[in-house]
Amino acid sequence: MKPLQHAQISQKTYGGKWQDYIEIHCFLDSSKAACAHFKHRFLLHHREGIELGVRIFGETLINSENKTIETRRLWTDHLIEDVGRILSVEDWARDLLPNKNDSFYKFLAKKRASIEADQVSGESELLSAFNLSETNRAAVKKFLRSPLETAEHPAALLVSHNSFAVFLAERIFGCAFVKENGSQKQLVAVREIFERLIFLRMKAVYSPAEIIARTSSQEWMRGADATTILAEKKRLANH
């Protein structure tokens, strides 16, 4: 389903105009610009992607009828309309890399362990070279760690360590951080920090297309049928 169709459904459900909702739905589908494959959804089509959207757009929007609509509700509808249920990063990770003997699984497990133990060689030195404040350093690491906070599978690492995630980071932090360098205010590109840190950790900055090529597919990833969508919306409405 395209963002326009999602927006038209939102208009029918919540009133106003479809234009009131199009930006919300375009955000969740923005990962398709990075790779036109149904598995692009692993980047944002999950509970954690909804929370990231809330961080960027806020908790609510006011439509053209002056009604206040919860953005979480809109993205929840979007997920159901696409995949039939509310997924988590863990759901995606488990089915993208189901085989623990897969070499990519083992690679990611090793990388995740070193990141969580704060034992990535050269990471402290790299961040020090950028002269970031402790607050900004912590924010960078927290952003990259965010999918690991809710998912145990090693492939959760792929949600935040990829080229598309670098651009999401810019939406949150802006184009630049200010270096801590005495009285002089020098800027350092947010994109450079994330690209270099991801490369240091992963030895590559994977594109979504590369990740998709190296992972498995499941039928549910292709999308849900109308019956499943209506049943899930009815179930949620009764709770």
Q: Using an 8 Å Cβ cutoff, are 223 and 82 in contact? A: yes
Please answer whether residues 132 and 186 qualify as being in contact, where contact means their C-beta atoms are separated by less than 8 angstroms. Answer: no
Sign of CA dihedral 7, 209, 117, 123: negative
Longest dimension (CA), the chain: 62
List 176's β-bridge partners, or say none.
189
Tokens linked to 61: 């929007």
Is residue 211 a contact partner of residue 218, using CB atoms and an 8 Å limit? no
What's the pLDDT score for residue 181?
Answer: 72
Q: How far is CA 44 from CA 27, 114, 140, 151, in A?
A: 9, 25, 19, 14
What are the 10-residue block averages of pLDDT along the chain, 239 residues in total?
94 97 96 91 96 95 97 95 94 96 97 94 91 92 95 97 96 92 81 97 96 94 79 74
Angle at 40 between CA 36 and CA 45, to 5 degrees: 140
Q: Where are the alpha helices (DSSP H) in 174-222?
A: 190-202, 208-213
The pLDDT score that the predictor gives to residue 229 is 77
Tokens (6 digits) for 239: 């709770």
The model's pTM is: 0.90
